[in-house]
Amino acid sequence: MTSETGFDVRKYDRFPTEGSRPDGELEQLEAAWCGPRRPGEWITAINNNIIGVYYVGAAMLFFVLAGVLALLMRTQLALPMTGFLPQETYNQIFTMHGTVMMFLFAVPAVEALGVLLLPQMLGARDLPFPRLGAYAFWAYLIGGLAFFCSLFFGLAPDGGWFMYPPLTGMTYSPGINADFWLLGIGFIEISAIAGAIEIIVGVLKTRAPGMTLDKLPVFPWAMLIFACMIIIAFPSVILATLLLELERALGWPFFDPLKGGDPMLWQHLFWFFGHPEVYIIFLPAAGAMSTIIPAMARTRLVGQPLVVMAMLATGFISFGVWAHHMFTTGMPQISINYFSAASMAVSVPAGVQVFAWIATIAAGKMRFSTPGLFAVGGLIIFVMGGLTGVMVAMVPFDWQAHDSYFIVAHLHYVLIGGMVFPMFAAIYYWLPMSSVRPLSERMGKWIFWLMFAGHNIAFMPMHLTGLMGMPRRVYTYLPGRGWDLPNFISTIGAFLFGLAVLLWVIDMIRNFRPFGPREAGNIHDGPGLEWLPSGYYSVRSVPVVKSLYPLWEQKGLAKEVEEGRWFLPGAAGGERQTLVTSPLNAEPQYVLRLPRPSPWHVFGAVFTAGFFLILTIQAYAVAVVSGVLAIYCIMRWCWFLDAPHNRKTTDIGAGIRMPNYVSGPSSHGWWAMVIVLIVGGMVCLLAGFSYVFLWSRRPDLWQASPAMASLMLHLGVLALAGLCAAVAPRMLRRARTGAETLATALLVVSAVGAATAVGLELRAWWSAGLKPDATSQGAAVFALLGWAGAFAGIGVLMGLYILLRRAFGRLSADRPSTVDLIGLFLAYTAGQAAMVLLLIRLFPGAGP
């Protein structure tokens, strides 16, 4: 086998090492990774074993809260024209139910599962950016709770979870309710993307040596695809929420047809996110199913490569089906046909996975303990949801079913079968990994059967209610249409489901004991690395992985791992470390020093949440203060990054030494920055699409662009900015005297240059008479320039940061990462601004 990195894989044969480990090695490891000792440290903790448990817990809290909202709605709809909930309250509750379930439960829940499980599954000590993960968690928890509490003040959004304008515009939703939605979603965008960065870099760069991609278990595969989909899909909702907020706050007409906007733009942007979102939720859950079913059947997953291919295919196709939510909007026939075909195609990979699970069950012998029950139950429910999914992909049928209770039934079958049941299977399966006691099997079976029955009693009749003509999102219905009985049955089912969840909460209270000295452990005889004996440091030593099912097929592994006879058995220098490996073949590359707990990310999260929430209640001055504090806290946290090392290399076992520091494309920081820039680029690309889309709707409103000479000047400035950013890292590496100063100066020039160019461009358009609140062109041009300008603004903050680092002597030629990453960001900023300028100046030509 050829090596990817030049690492000689024959060195793997030196393991497991012989002889006893040095005295005090384990104690040093435990000291470096020790858990919280004082109460405050439970808050500043960043270890994934702690944050992951919090994260799953918070997601399940939101599941319960949104479930309570569902019960309120079902109570209202049990009988026709009841007055249990007033109209406005019901409209807020159904909006919150959907929003909380999708954004505060489903996405964070699977992400949380990833944070909790991935390091152990991959044989890493922690995720590569633990503090970022903790920051994302706190921003999500604080923001989510505050967002939820808007219900208690009657300020919750009431425009439906997909918030179609113009209903959600200022004219028809003048209150701050809609702003709560838009800004509340801001947190989820932040935490989802932060989590995605963690997961992509974690899966690609921190796998145990030897865990080549073909030995990567299905769950991390699913999480990898999940994270990539977030990177592609979330920019769309980021942009949509930005545009709607700009329209609401400043009157920029993106969606207002009177000034050239189009409500359909929102629908395209929202569903370009919204449909992949469904698979974003489903794929990790499917990955969990593909892990749990083989474990419960005690056999290998049948057709593992097919399952992985199917997940990849799902990821790809899901970006081509968004408009099937829009079959009734009067789209052209040709588009309808395409989206109908794509929507059917996307069910094929789901079928592959379902039959792989069935084949696996047949190949082994299924155990009907609780995780197995939830897995099989989820499979059945998901298949039924998939079948109604094929039905609504048939356009003529969708014209009838769309926006009726048939859809309510369909989506709950898909999401509950495809995500909630697998989530419960996962909780029952993996909980012994984090808890001293497992959950009760007896209770678990009761919970399963109640939930399975409750689900079908609640949602099966809704297919019929829909065919009987009952539309979705109605706070009540008239008697005499035959809708009474099926609605009443649905309500009974919903309460049975609620009872099941209540029993589960009781079971959790009785048996869930996390952070104990010794977990219940591998009671299901699972095959993955996550079942190795572990502490806060994850595994004692990182084994070479030679199989997809290491605990089944590598005999004696657990004992060798616990004796420290594999890689990285200690904590050299008392530091928290993990091994960074190459993305394809997982060959060791360097030792990554991980951060320790600190309060700055917590403060950063508090102030970030504060900024958004205070902005929503329109106390602008306070919001700005909070925002500045958030930036300060985040800079403070970054300040200690890229710090000097005492030693250049670490012995990772068997005399193999690896560097402690790497810069450039093989470093984890470089990967993270590239992912951030992909997110930025996607937002910009979609903003460009919006610009062209708005033009196509009302070309008559388009005015001529400013004089071409100014374009040349601005592009020239941007080229200079890009050049400075590109050469700064090279200058630093020359390591002459003054190299740090030169690099700093270049970066500052680049940032200022980019900001200047964008500013000049804005002024040119303003002088040419284009106003952002007058026409869709104005809105689109200023939004694009605003996006480019925001990057330049962040670039200026980075320039300030690098100046400070230079001033305090925290830059050095032998640790170029800070300069590398800021250079990369600024080069991208200049390039992005140049593309924006070219688009708005040259398309569609010089006006009508």
387-406 residues in contact with another protein (CB under 8 A) are: 387-388, 390-391, 393-404
**Is there binding between residue 335 and another protein (CB under 8 A)?**
no
Q: Which residues in 15-54 contact another protein (CB under 8 A)?
A: none
**Is there binding between residue 91 and another protein (CB under 8 A)?**
yes
CA–CA distances in Å: residue 336 to residues 245, 274, 582, 677: 30, 18, 44, 33
- Contact with another protein (CB under 8 A) among 57, 160, 514, 759: 160
The 3-state secondary structure of 566-581 reads CECCCCHHHCCEEEEE
**Is there binding between residue 477 and another protein (CB under 8 A)?**
yes
Q: Which residues in 367-386 contact another protein (CB under 8 A)?
A: 376, 379-380, 383-384
**Min CB(165)–another protein separation in Å:** 8
**Is there binding between residue 468 and another protein (CB under 8 A)?**
yes
- Contact with another protein (CB under 8 A) among 101, 112, 182, 356: 356
**Is there binding between residue 251 and another protein (CB under 8 A)?**
no
Cα(301)–Cα(269) distance, rounded to whole angstroms?
Answer: 37
**Is there binding between residue 426 and another protein (CB under 8 A)?**
no
Q: Strand, helix or coil at 656?
A: coil
Q: Which is nearer to another protein, 363 or 685 (CB)?
A: 363
**Is there binding between residue 175 and another protein (CB under 8 A)?**
no
Tokens of 552: 């089944």
Q: Where are the alpha helices (DSSP H) in 33-106?
A: 41-44, 48-77, 87-99
Q: Count residues contacting another protein (CB under 8 A)?
A: 93
Name the residue type at position 121. Answer: M
Question: Tokens 């100014």 identify what position?
Answer: 710
- Contact with another protein (CB under 8 A) among 113, 134, 283, 352: 352
- Contact with another protein (CB under 8 A) among 150, 173, 582, 744: 173
Q: Which residues in 313-332 contact another protein (CB under 8 A)?
A: 328-330
**Is there binding between residue 167 and another protein (CB under 8 A)?**
yes
Binding mask 663-702 for another protein (x = CB under 8 A): ----------------------------------x-----
**Min CB(400)–another protein separation in Å:** 5
- Please choose, out of 66-74, 217-225, 262-270, 664-672, the segment that lies near another protein by the rule CB under 8 A: 262-270
Half-sphere exposure of 381 (CA within 13 A, CB side): 32
Neighbours of 672 (CB within 10 A): 20
- Please choose, out of 22-30, 165-173, 315-323, 778-786, the segment that lies near another protein by the rule CB under 8 A: 165-173
- Contact with another protein (CB under 8 A) among 345, 502, 625, 804: 345
Ramachandran region, residue 577 (left: φ > 0; alpha: ψ -120 to 50; beta: rest): beta
CA–CA distances in Å: residue 290 to residues 217, 369, 370, 585: 9, 16, 16, 23
- Contact with another protein (CB under 8 A) among 89, 369, 440, 476: 476
Q: Which residues in 697-736 contact another protein (CB under 8 A)?
A: 697
Neighbours of 449 (CB within 10 A): 14
**Min CB(238)–another protein separation in Å:** 23
User: Taking the mean position of all CA atoms in its chain, how far away is CA 308?
Assistant: 20
**Is there binding between residue 363 and another protein (CB under 8 A)?**
yes
Cα(783)–Cα(773) distance, rounded to whole angstroms?
Answer: 11
- Contact with another protein (CB under 8 A) among 150, 241, 360, 585: 360
- Please choose, out of 299-307, 539-547, 621-629, 808-816, the segment that lies near another protein by the rule CB under 8 A: 299-307
- Contact with another protein (CB under 8 A) among 36, 80, 533, 681: 80
**Is there binding between residue 514 and another protein (CB under 8 A)?**
no
Strands 538-539 and 534-535, bridge-based pairing: antiparallel
CA–CA distances in Å: residue 600 to residues 135, 597, 794: 9, 9, 19
CB 220 within 8 A of CB 307: no
Q: Which is nearer to another protein, 208 or 264 (CB)?
A: 264
CA–CA distances in Å: residue 720 to residues 709, 755, 790, 792: 17, 12, 19, 14
**Min CB(326)–another protein separation in Å:** 8
**Is there binding between residue 334 and another protein (CB under 8 A)?**
no
Whether the link from the prior residue into 16 is cis, omega within 30° of 0, is yes
Q: Which is nearer to another protein, 29 or 376 (CB)?
A: 376
What is the torsion angle, in degrees rounded to the nearest 10, for the CA atoms of residue 613, residue 617, residue 618 and residue 622?
A: -50
Q: Give the CA angle between residues 91, 92, 98 to the nearest 5°.
A: 95
**Min CB(338)–another protein separation in Å:** 10
Q: Which is nearer to another protein, 170 or 757 (CB)?
A: 170
DSSP string, 331-371: --HHHHHHHHHHHHHTHHHHHHHHHHHHHHHHHS----SHH
- Please list, in sequence order, all residues whose beta carbon lies within 8 angstroms of the beta carbon of residue 337, skipping any fewer than 6 positions away: 395
- Contact with another protein (CB under 8 A) among 347, 511, 649, 756: 347
- Please choose, out of 200-208, 479-487, 548-556, 565-573, the segment that lies near another protein by the rule CB under 8 A: 479-487
Cα(93)–Cα(688) distance, rounded to whole angstroms?
Answer: 35
**Is there binding between residue 214 and another protein (CB under 8 A)?**
no
- Please choose, out of 208-216, 352-360, 429-437, 765-773, the segment that lies near another protein by the rule CB under 8 A: 352-360
- Contact with another protein (CB under 8 A) among 86, 516, 574, 664: 86
**Is there binding between residue 166 and another protein (CB under 8 A)?**
yes
CA–CA distances in Å: residue 154 to residues 87, 175, 180, 816: 12, 10, 11, 52
